[in-house]
Amino acid sequence: MESSELRELLTPDGLRLLDSLPAWTSGTDVVRSVADLRKAGHSPVLVAAVLHQARLRSKAVAKFGPFAERMLFTTAGLEQATRLQVAALHAGRYRDAGLTRVVDLGSGIGADALAMAAIDLEVTAVERDEVTAALAAYNLAPWQNASVVNGDATAVDLDGFEAAYVDPARRSNSRRLNDPADWSPSLDFAFGIAGRIPVGVKLGPGIDRDLIPADCEAQWISVGGDVVELGVWFGSLARPGVGRSALVLGAGGPAELTSADDSEDAEAGALGAFVLEPDGAVIRARLIGDLARSLEARMLDPRIAYLTSDEAVSTPFASCFRVLEQLPFDERTIKRALAARGIGVLEIKKRGVDVDPAVLRTRLAPKGSASATLIVTRVGEKRIALLAERV
């Protein structure tokens, strides 16, 4: 969003116009909407701003629920913003640790600061980008215990705060920054202040694990099956005895696996009647071995994150599939098996095999009314295909 759009949007008339628009849907006729708003006498800049916000509010519902209807966003800010469900868990850590004055360094549009303010923590959000800081101020306006500073997170005097939360910006001009030294603030800065006050740092779940300090709690979080972040916690924000955690947020509520460190791998064994696919958070946290032992399961291959068991398993930490047939990884053989069962709806999963599921599905050309899952993997050096159904 440009400053000119922001100036027109953040006026009583601009905000009233935004709130008067119908909910944005995939069927919204943008050309017609622009024409109608221009005909009503609104400037091109304001029309662009309100329509952009209407579209972003629609996308934001997945992260913020009904709160999205009264928030303002940038495209990058929404993409990196913490889901409100997860932000509430972050805020709870500070409250449970007895920390009430928090500085949010690199606050973006204010998602985590909003969750903190909502449980009566005193929070100061610091954001370097002027437009994003203005939107954060708007989003946090309902809470008197929240304030926003437009400035450099690395220049903030920490003496007035009991704890910090850091969410480094990992993009610049829509380009992903791979070097942690280029993040804003840098990873060294984020980890460095942990020696002064308790700190939580939000990172991408795929970060190089060698960068994670030894003296912290590292928690990978998945929501609805997608691993959304790695939270690294220091000082009183880290739980005693917990070095690795996999938190799964699903329809059944939160579920968590914890360990002091990476778990030892489970033993590999023969294919059973069921295959288990661990949640991505469990895989990222390297707690597959602990999960296998808790389920009395075994690994299909020591190097691949599939488990197998002789009994059906119900757990929030893994998806369970009943094996219908084991096949060699040969397209003609698989195609005949699909045709014999009338399978037309085919989910394809793969690990340890260089195959593009979309291309493979096209080549298999499944037809019929039945559905199944095809698991392509390997055991040792042998590639196999398992025709299965979800339990």
Query: For residue 173, what pLDDT is reported?
Result: 67
- Stronger pLDDT, 90 or 252, i.e. the higher one: 90
Domain ranges of the chain: 3-59, 78-259, 274-390
**Does 375 have pLDDT greater than 80?**
yes
Query: Cis omega before residue 328 (within 30°)?
Result: no
Q: Find the range with the poorest average confidence among 42-56, 176-190, 208-222, 306-320.
A: 176-190
Tell me the CB-side half-sphere exposure of residue 67, using CA atoms within 13 A.
17
Q: Are 298 and 276 in contact (CB under 8 A)?
A: no
SS3 state at 56? helix
Give the pair of three-digit tokens for residue 103: 């500085």
Contact 388, 322 (CB under 8 A): yes
Q: Which of left, alpha, beta for 241 (phi over 0: left; psi -120 to 50: alpha)?
A: left
What's residue 174's pLDDT? 67
Q: How many CB atoms lie within 10 A of CB 305?
A: 20
- d(CA 51, CA 30) in angstroms, rounded, equals 8
Residue 156 — pLDDT band, cuts 50, 70, 90?
very high
Mean pLDDT lowest among 76-80, 96-100, 160-164, 274-278: 76-80
- CA-based angle 30:33:34, to the nearest 5? 85
- Binned at pLDDT 50, 70 and 90, residue 363 comes out as very high
What residues pair up with 246 in beta bridges, in sequence order? Answer: 220, 257
Cross-sheet strand order for the sheet of 217-223: 146-150, 122-127, 101-105, 163-166, 199-203, 226-233, 217-223, 244-250, 253-259
The tokens for 152 are 């450099």
Give the least confident one: 4-8, 137-141, 279-283: 4-8
Cα gap 359→331, rounded to integer Å = 12
Place of tokens 């409100």: 84
The lowest-confidence range among 233-237, 250-254, 343-347, 387-391 is 250-254
- Within 13 Å, how many C-alpha atoms sit on residue 55's CB side? 13
* Rounded distance between C-alpha atoms, residue 246 and residue 344, angstroms: 35
E strand residue ranges, the chain: 101-105, 122-127, 146-150, 163-166, 171-172, 175-176, 199-203, 217-223, 226-233, 244-250, 253-259, 274-278, 298-301, 304-309, 318-328, 343-350, 370-379, 382-390
Angle at 27 between CA 22 and CA 28, to 5 degrees: 40
Q: Looking at residue 181, what is its pLDDT?
A: 84
Quick one: 78-259 is in which CATH superfamily? Vaccinia Virus protein VP39 (3.40.50.150)
pLDDT digit string, tens, across residues 25-57: 888 899 999 999 999 999 999 999 999 999 999
Specify the pLDDT at position 152: 93
Q: How far apart are CA 95 and CA 75, in angstroms?
A: 30
Task: Give the tokens for residue 70.
Answer: 């009264």
Q: What is the pTM of this model?
A: 0.91
- Rounded to the nearest integer, the mean pLDDT of the chain is 94
Q: Stretch 246-269: mean pLDDT, rounded?
A: 94
Would the pLDDT of 178 be above 90? no
Helix H or strand E segment including 106: none
Nearest to 134 by CA among 42, 5, 44, 16: 5
Residue with tokens 């997860």: 86
Rounded CA separation 292/307 (Å): 7
- Mind listing the pLDDT tens digit for each residue in 106-137? 999 999 999 999 999 999 999 999 999 999 99
Average pLDDT (285-290) is 97
Q: What does the block give as tokens for 189?
A: 């800065």
